[in-house]
Chains A and B, each alone.
Chain A
Amino acid sequence: MWRRRGWRAFARHDDEGILDDQGTLHDDTNMLTGAIIAGVVFGLYYTLVGLGLNLVFGVMRIVNLAHGDFLMLGGIAAWFLFTSLGLHPLVSAGLVVVVFVLIGLPIYYLVVPRLLRSRDSEMLSLILFFGVSQMIEAVTTIGLGSTERSLPPRLLGVGPVILFGTRLPKAWIFSAIASAVAVLLVYLYLYRTRLGTLTRAVMVSRDEALATGIDVNFVSAVAFGISLALAGVAGVFAPFILGSITPNMGVAINITAFAVIVVGTLGNPLGTLLGGIIYGVSLMLMQTYLSSWANLLPNLLLIAVLLVRPEGIFGRKVRRA
């Protein structure tokens, strides 16, 4: 109670707080509970956003700064498929998975092996994929213009779903389910398939995997394709979660996705689940109690984790999947 009143006092001091002096303890509790429930569901979407980025880092030790732009392209694809062919976004999501995996393979062979032969591939990947990101944004802006695009809310159902007394949009539930399915599939891929076992071997040591005769490039190319597919699927849901898509949204998505995977442990795709939920809950709590500062959250989380636990929440024990 004291703590909650303390937050309120701070907010009021900042002249941006809730001004209702009749707010009861019951109201505060509802708001807190609502923020946490909404945060968990919303965070699952950000798990989907960060999952592919972490997979690529885990397997190749490179940072794909164009990840957010591939997400944007997934959204554009869903918008295009709906407006031109009338395809439902859930159908588009399936198509996007296939197409983005297929796009990912040649991009991998064109870019990544050369990158990995360089002295400092992690640093160079930042520069190279930043360039790719800028190119994608510029080409999309030239081709489609800069304004917002979206899909009709009715496609995933209008009206709320009430979860433990908290009203949530139906689209959040769909995206949370999609994210849960994606996490499950990535888990099954990594732990229940031969290619997944080889992928984990590459994650442990690329050189040793190469020495044992594993086709490291093929394994990595598939992982890269899966990563783009995950970004693409997240993009399909973006109009419903973020309101709309614009060609320039990639950078902001990247910053958030990066915070999510650092919190959940870099290089550990499944740690992204925890990172996403922590981000989601933190964001909703910030929106509830200190809304003006909510956009600082990704950076605050990054700084906090890097200072307190640089190896991420899961740490070294599970870092290499």
Chain B
Amino acid sequence: MKSKALALGLLCAVAAAGSANAQPAAPAAITIGTLYASSGPYASISMPVFDAFKLWVDQTNAAGGVEVKAFGKKIPIKLVAYDDQSSTATAATLYNQLITQDHVDLLVADSGSVLTSVGVPIAKEHKQFLFDVSGTGAAFFTKDNPYIALMSDPVSTIWPHYISDFLADQGVKEGVKTVAILYSTNDFTGTQAAALKGFFERDGKVKIVYYQGVPTTTSNYTVLINNIAALNPDAVLELGYVGNDIAFLRNLQDSGEKFRFVFSIYAGTEKEEIEKNVGISAMNGIYSYVPASDYEYKPDVGMDQKAFHAAWDKKYPPGSGVAFGANAIYGYMTGLVVQQTLATTKSLDQMAIHDAVFGLSGKLKTLDGTFELRDDGAQIGEVTPLGQLQPEGKDKLKLVAVYPPDLANGKAIIGK
């Protein structure tokens, strides 16, 4: 009788120990929720991100799914995506829906600061980690919010420092003394404008003679350019979204005004899109950021820029609607971070996801450069060199990195 009871006890103990060590049942799919804007002012930056992210999902699923360390196996990805139509109100509702109704495992924000801004507090409130693709607004990143990390762009306060450094360094040597800053009033460009203003005032080498914001919906800059020209600045920095930059560069060409240094964000970062709408002659000599789509970083993970561009062209042939550019890189790069996160996370608990993402900081090298996070989730690794669009042959422009010197692959030509 005693031996029977002992055997039963041992059996129970073994069973209990076994259940304690067993991994939780693996889900049938890893659900990733995201938003995109198929229409509205942010469609131009949202759709390339979304299409590239879908490309990564399709490639991953074709390979049998994503490796999830917590379950020790590959699991297919299920993408739940909603169209916010560039509306922050719609985006807020849909972020809530993804978290509370769809119960997604991972949440990926829409592209850009405006449509990310409403997701940040919602994700924080629900303790859901937010993969922030390119929302670089400085206010998103605070020490009391562990539920966010910026994937692909440096935070807006860091991003523009090469512009001011270049002007203070090489610009001043060439006689650049005054600057006009015209920006769209949103988190993305507003933060960059404020940062630039601070850099110029701190350095005290280049004087700001014009500092003015315009609504992001602005589609005509003629009078603004005339007003800037009346103050005769050496450099003009226009910080806007794609639609703003198209209108600005067209109006600048139409106006016949010439400035020695003109900067626009998307002339370089969405070169194909801007070139299609503005034409080469209006872009010649314009300064811009050099995104990963025009700079070849050597990746440790995923495709390099050329291979990705080829994969993009195969899936979305040129002329099919969405142009290849920096935002396409950002979407694919976010997929790679998700992939590496799932490959290292201990569970799908959101703080475990946080730990896994931050564990990649400084170690992950992709086609977008080195992924490195500040404590508050801001991206500080992926730098954006200053570049200039210079002629390449008769009817082509090339984006040449001109600053900082260690990343430069060409020399800046400052107008006379």
* A residues with CB within 8 A of B: 11, 15-20, 23, 27, 30-31, 34-35, 38-39, 42, 137, 141, 144-150, 152-154, 158-160, 166-172, 240-244, 246-248, 252, 284, 287-288, 291-295
Contact = CB atoms under 8 A, between A and B. Distances in A.
A35 B321 contact: no
Contacts of B217: 252, 295
Given A146-B39, A150-B276, 17 more contacts: A18-B211, A18-B212, A19-B210, A31-B230, A137-B39, A141-B38, A146-B44, A147-B43, A147-B47, A148-B277, A149-B276, A152-B279, A158-B281, A243-B220, A248-B40, A288-B224, A295-B217
Nearest to A240: B250
A246 B241 CA distance: 14
Contacts, number: 163
B38 A147 contact: no
Interface stretch (B64-72, B147-155, B251-259, B369-377): B251-259
5 contacts: A16-B212, A17-B211, A18-B231, A149-B277, A294-B214
B277 A167 contact: no
Interface in B344-388: none
B277 A16 contact: no
A88 B279 CA distance: 17
Given A145-B320, A146-B38, A148-B273, A166 B226 contact: yes
Given A19-B208, A38-B222, A147 B215 contact: no
Contacts of B215: 292-295
Interface in B198-249: 208-215, 217-220, 222-224, 226-227, 229-231, 242-243, 246-248
A148 B211 contact: no
B273 A291 contact: no
Interface string B72-90: 0000000000000110000
Interface in B271-324: 273, 276-279, 281-282, 320-323
Nearest to B320: A145
Interface of B: 37-41, 43-44, 47, 85-86, 185, 208-215, 217-220, 222-224, 226-227, 229-231, 242-243, 246-248, 250-251, 253-257, 273, 276-279, 281-282, 320-323
Given A146-B44, A148-B273, A171-B254, A291 B220 contact: no
B220 A19 contact: no
A205 B232 CA distance: 58
B214 A243 contact: no
| Top-5 shortest CB links A-B | A145-B321, A243-B247, A169-B254, A146-B43, A295-B215
Contacts of A31: 226-227, 230
Counting chain B CB atoms within 10 Å of each CB, the highest count among A20, A148, A159 belongs to A148
A122 to B, nearest CB: 27
Contacts of A152: 279
A158 to B, nearest CB: 6
Counting chain A CB atoms within 10 Å of each CB, the highest count among B217, B227, B279, B321 belongs to B227
Contacts of A15: 211
A132 B306 CA distance: 43
B213 A16 contact: yes
Contact of B39 (A19, A20, A141): A141
B210 A20 contact: yes
A150 B212 contact: no
B86 A248 contact: yes
B205 to A, nearest CB: 16
A147 B323 contact: yes
B243 A244 contact: yes
B282 A153 contact: yes
Given A243-B220, A244-B243, A153 B250 contact: yes
Contacts of B211: 15-19
